[in-house]
Structure 1
Amino acid sequence: MSTSLYYDASRATALTSTETAAVERIVTAHQSNFPYQDEESLFLYEEGGSEPDAIVAGSTKMPFDPDRVMPVLEQVLGSVTELRRALPDAEWRVHLDDFDLPWNENEGYFLPS
């Protein structure tokens, strides 16, 4: 059984061109710096997902190798944190399957211990 990280942002207004450029920059930086080429990485859906007001949505399947789960999760959560900071007026939801991950203004998204 696999676990996936899901992330989405919604609001009534579409992304501006400046916001779209910021999202693209974050995704490109993440993909070029992601150290595990054989694992899933940050992945945004086309069209922002299935929710009507979704502006950004995606998911990442976590690795089966237990030694890789935390490093991959930290990398992806770091990028999702950057996305949230680039789109602060959106309503965000980030969760591992059914477990919602908390947001901290100083540290971003994290997995509670």
Structure 2
Amino acid sequence: MGVSIYYTATRGTALTDEERDRVQDIVTESNEALFAGLNTKLAGWKAKNLVPAHMADAWEFCEGLHLYKPDENDPRVVLAGSSKVSHSECGMEPMYAQLDHYMRVALPRLRRALPDAEWRVHVDDIDLEWDEEDGQYTYPDAP
């Protein structure tokens, strides 16, 4: 079973060239940071059997931020993407490390780059909440 995080930003005006470049820079920088961080934990995860021994790089079990092509049918969508955060052969700790990066680092940076957009971020069917005070996404409070 796979788990993915989805992110969408909408607004009334298209991205400017400067915003598009900034978004791409953030995606590149965030993915580099994510994979560097995961790779530092890889040996420990292998030792705990949380990642298969044959995996030599985080790219083998993690996608990083992945933006979709612009939606020509809905010009209000200025940014949309998804990232698969689970792998059938990996344990929960690698998945949580990925989610933590997306919720606390990568997606907040994208949100700050497009502050006038309306954002929706969700893990499968669970909408994540934006915490203004901490500047990050959080899981909703349990009922």
In structure 1, distance between residues paired with 2:137 and 2:71:
20
- Normalised to the residue count of structure 2, the TM-score between the two structures is 0.72
In structure 1, distance between residues paired with 2:72 and 2:133:
28
In structure 2, distance between residues paired with 1:91 and 1:72:
23
In structure 2, distance between residues paired with 1:86 and 1:61:
23
Larger Rg: 2
Structure 2: gaps of 5 or more residues: 36-57
Runs of 4+ in 1 over 4 A off after TM superposition: none
2:58 equivalent to 1:58: no
In structure 2, distance between residues paired with 1:48 and 1:9:
12
Q: Output one character per residue of 1:54-84: Cα deviation in whole Å (capped at 9) or x when no partner.
A: 0000001122321211101111222111100
Structure 2 equivalent of residue 97 of structure 1: 124
In structure 1, distance between residues paired with 2:71 and 2:109:
17
Percent identity of the aligned residues?
Answer: 41
- Normalised to the residue count of structure 1, the TM-score between the two structures is 0.89
Which of 96, 103, 112 matches 1:70? 96
Question: What is the one-letter code of the residue matched to 2:108?
Answer: T
**Match of 2:80, SS?**
strand
Q: Output one character per residue of 1:4-34: Cα deviation in whole Å (capped at 9) or x when no partner.
A: 1000000110001221121011011012222
Question: What is the one-letter code of the residue matched to 1:22?
Answer: R
Which of 102, 109, 115 matches 1:88? 115
